[in-house]
Amino acid sequence: MSLVKKFITVGGATLGSRIFGFARETLMAAALGTGPMADVFYAAFRFPNLFRRLFAEGAFNAAFVPLFAKEIEANGIDGAKRFSEEVFGVLFSVLFLITVVMELGMPLIVRWIIAPGFADDPEKFTITVRMAAVMFPYLMCMSLTAMMSGMLNSLHHFFAAAVAPIFLNVVMIAALFYSLYFGALPLQTAWYLSWGVLAAGILQLLVVYIGVRFAGINIGFRWPRFTPNVKRLLILAIPAAVTGGITQINQMIGQAIASSREGAIAALQYADRIYQLPLGVVGVAVGVVLLPELARALKSGHLKEAGNLQNRSMEFVLFLTIPAAMALWVLSDDIIRVLYERRAFHQENTLIVGSILAIYGLGLPAFVLIKALQPGFYAREDTKTPMRFSGIAVATNCAIALSLFPYMGAPGIAVAEATAGWISTVLLFTTLLRRGHLTWEWGLARRAALLLVSAAVMTGAIIYLQHRWEPYLASGASLLTKVSALGLLIAIAMTIYFVVAFLIGGADLGMIRRNINRKRPATTTAPDAEVVNGE
């Protein structure tokens, strides 16, 4: 299967999950708005959700996949099964201990990490502690799910691992429907959602376990032993967890700062859900697929193939995220108005969340490029270098967020996160280039510039149509009218972008055909071979 086809397989399943996520957030906005219970639930959910994104979206795989792939090549499926059982025994035991300690220390965690601003409100603080305690076992479920997802990805069974997150959204949507139908109070709704998160974690673990069984591996429990392979995994996994979750770590810092102002946490979350669509569909797909492909190419000595994979992945990312970023910048208010503005979510909320989304849009290409660049380090079992860059980005994020929040509110936190994302991207890219793990392609640079031109033309068309169609996108218009107008505007914008991009050479059919029909090299490439430039 070609690289692009694999991206489409994973991205398609992730798209389904993100669409359900949109439905979930729309119902959440209707039920809770940006009120105190929305802040409480999102604050309590942020901690287990941080670990979900750390593990489920690539950090654990960054350490596990290269070692698992090595076991498959060296010792076949039996060796891979033995390695996975060793990891499962240690991981389960460690996670159980972490869960017990965290549950006992939850009041301190909420006070000092999750939501320091809630400490002055005893009711909000107490409810947040209790809800976080209910949802924290989700961490154990998602960590074990991530391990099995890594196995499936290495065995080229991408779909089950990509589709599993849908169950979180399905369960939460069911809880919200129940709450809205029976007119539950905001506090009751938040509790339904909290128990739903735990139930969803169990369902997701079950889905990937069945997928692993279907792929031909039956994992048994082994008494935890720190074998050489397990020790190597832990050495790689800890820096990878920090690096892979840089965006989420920055969001956690932003939440802690935002907790001092009511409604800020919920506003950040609603905007986050929108830009997670392209980030998830493109970024997660690229990260999940590229890592095992790079690891396999490098271990086989196919250096040209590895370099070409890296550059084609960046090209794919830029082709899709540049127009998405520009569209989010100019359409942010309209998108928020259509998706969220009803019942408890008012016009004032739209302006705040829309401004946050516009800023996140400018950071989108960076957030996705990080997913395409990190595998270049992970496939070479280097997780420390990206971790050092993450430290720089986190420090930058803290400084900017603390400086801007008093003056800008929640949008200042979005500025800090977007800036930190671009700093990480520049550091990752320049280091790979300097080490010779990435070859500069003038053709790729030229196409990227032409894609910017295409996106600028598209943006001009959007602004023109926005002014002409303003009555159809206004708050007073019916939902059907707003949805139709926004949908048509997006469709026209996409058409303009793709037509212009192909006409001026930002993209070409030959390049797409080569990526779709790409075949693995039959012979080993010399270690000092030059990376193909993709022209």
Q: How far is CA 415 from the centre of its chain?
A: 18
DSSP state, residue 150: H
> Structure tokens of 46?
């942020």
Each residue of 283-327: pLDDT tens digit? 666 665 665 667 677 766 777 777 777 777 788 888 888 999 999
CA atoms of 384 and 390, how far apart (whole Å): 10
Which pTM was predicted?
0.67
- Radius of gyration for the alpha carbons in the chain, expressed in angstroms and rounded: 23
Is-contact 38 194, C-beta < 8 A? no
Each residue of 330-373: pLDDT tens digit? 999 999 998 888 777 778 888 889 999 999 999 999 988 888 88
Each residue of 230-278: pLDDT tens digit? 888 777 777 766 665 566 677 677 777 887 787 787 888 788 878 777 7
pLDDT at 115: 79
- Could you report how far apart the first and last alpha carbons of the chain are, in Å? 21
CA atoms of 18 and 276, how far apart (whole Å): 7
Match 């690229």 to its residue by tokens.
286
> Structure tokens of 34?
């940006």
Each residue of 369-398: pLDDT tens digit? 888 888 888 778 787 888 888 889 888 988
Asked which of 39-43, 98-102, 329-333, 422-426 is least confident by mean pLDDT, the reply is 39-43
Whether 533 has a pLDDT exceeding 50, the answer reads no
Q: Helix/strand/coil (H, E, C) string of 304-354?
A: HHHHHHHHHHHHHHHHHHHHHHHHHHHHHHHHHHHHHCCCCCCHHHHHHHH
Whether 58 has a pLDDT exceeding 60, the answer reads no
Is-contact 96 237, C-beta < 8 A? no
> Could you tell me which residue, 37 or 528, shows the higher pLDDT?
37
